[in-house]
Amino acid sequence: MAPEPWILAAAGLLIAGVIASKTSARLGVPSLLLFLGIGMLAGTDGLIGIEFDDFELARNFGIIALAYILFSGGLGTRFRDIRPVLGQGIALASIGVVITAGLLGGIAIVLLDISTQQGLLLGAVIASTDAAAVFSILRSRGVRIDGKLASMLELESGSNDPAAVFLTLAIISVITTGETEPVRILGSFMVQMGLGALAGFVLARGAVWQQGIAQQYSLPELKPLQRFRYRGEGWGLTSDGTHLIQSDGSAILRWRDPADFHVVKELHVRAGGKVLKLLNELEWAQGWILANIWLSDWIVGIDPVTGKAAWKIDVGELLSAAERRTADVPNGIAWHAPSGRLWVSGKHWPWLFCLQVALPPIAPAATPQ
């Protein structure tokens, strides 16, 4: 068969998908439903009648799409927003899915007059909610949800797919093999979820640690010069004029020799007698080490001799409430010594702020010679 009809059909489906995506917001209908409708019209029993019965290919595409959806949802979710509702969100995404599948399955059994196994399978397939669909409907209807409820909805709707997929596969296994021991099914669930979480954590941390490279550039050309390998993570880097000072997300700052990047000394940072972790972006200003504290709105001033965080600046009010909903943590600071001004920004921030800051004096012993 000539390729032209297939190209024309593919172009038509793409155009229909774009139109459906633009129309769904106005209709207040999830675009997923319109896409499914287009697929049904284009399929074997639809108006176009495209023959497709390769279930293996459809399954593989579905797995890839699900992996992409989960990965994309993880990148777009701010941990500081979901941390207060982490327990409730995980409970809804797991136990909630099981309860929903049971209720929907029971309704299907009664209304559709199908077997118990078929009803539970149908309930498991449609038990998970779709984050894009949920927030699309809320936005199209002008519904604004603030606070913990919005964070919980985001966490639950973006993380319930694994539980729904496992439940679906478990019921299919029961139907095809006759396996009905709940202990074995529950044990398999715990093993798969546990190994999956462990593998994800190890790979994510390993991806960060594996970088382990500090790249030196020339000024003002910004040409790559030397590269240094080191152990651990690199979160922030500044200089006291003699050494480089590095943070790695812990409570420890490391002084490194700029010639070969080896560690000269370490400093443990404390605030109010307690260890101060999550030290992020760094800047040297008038003898102080300024540091963003990750997942907070604070910039602290650290004494480079004692390690004491002596004062802090709250930058949380720089953004409006509407801007904070799309912005992430503040993690950009730069000190302009001639003017005594502090430049502040953050991840996905729409603005770069210039603050006139009067830093307190520091003990002479803390100033590098």
73-92 CB burial, b ≥16 within 10 A, e <16: beeeebeebbeebeebbbeb
pLDDT tens by residue, 230-256: 888 888 999 999 999 999 989 999 999
Residue keyed to tokens 């943590």: 329
Q: For the chain, give the number of residues.
A: 369
pLDDT tens by residue, 89-148: 888 888 888 899 999 999 999 999 888 888 999 998 888 876 656 666 665 566 666 667
Tokens of 246: 């590095």
More reliable by pLDDT, 131 or 272: 272
Q: What is the pLDDT of residue 130?
A: 67
The CATH code belonging to domain 225-366 is 2.130.10.10
How far is it between the farthest Cα atoms of the chain? Answer: 85
Q: What is the pLDDT of residue 89?
A: 84
pLDDT tens by residue, 19-75: 877 777 677 676 777 777 888 887 777 777 777 777 788 888 877 877 776 666 665
Rounded to whole angstroms, the Cα distance separating 240 from 260 reads 16
Q: Is the pLDDT of residue 321 over 90?
A: no
Q: What is the pLDDT of residue 169?
A: 82
| Strand order through the sheet with 309-314 | 279-285, 288-293, 298-302, 309-314
Which helix (DSSP H) or strand (DSSP E) does residue 64 occupy?
helix 55-75
- Measuring CA to CA, which residue among 282, 301, 297 is closest to residue 349? 297
Q: Is the pLDDT of residue 269 over 90?
A: yes
Q: Is the pLDDT of residue 324 over 90?
A: no
Q: What is the pLDDT of residue 315?
A: 92
- Measuring CA to CA, which residue among 315, 355, 350, 325 is closest to residue 78? 325
Q: E strands of the chain, at which residues?
A: 213-217, 224-229, 236-239, 244-247, 252-256, 263-268, 270-271, 274-275, 279-285, 288-293, 298-302, 309-314, 330-336, 341-346, 353-356
Rounded to whole angstroms, the Cα distance separating 254 from 12 reads 59
Q: Is the pLDDT of residue 327 over 70?
A: yes
Q: Is the pLDDT of residue 262 over 80?
A: yes
Q: What does the mean pLDDT of the chain come to?
A: 81
The residue extents of the domains of the chain are 54-180, 225-366
Q: What is the pLDDT of residue 366?
A: 46
Other Cβ atoms less than 10 A from the Cβ of 302: the count is: 25
Q: What share of the chain has pLDDT > 70, as a percent?
A: 83
114 near 184, Cβ under 8 Å? no
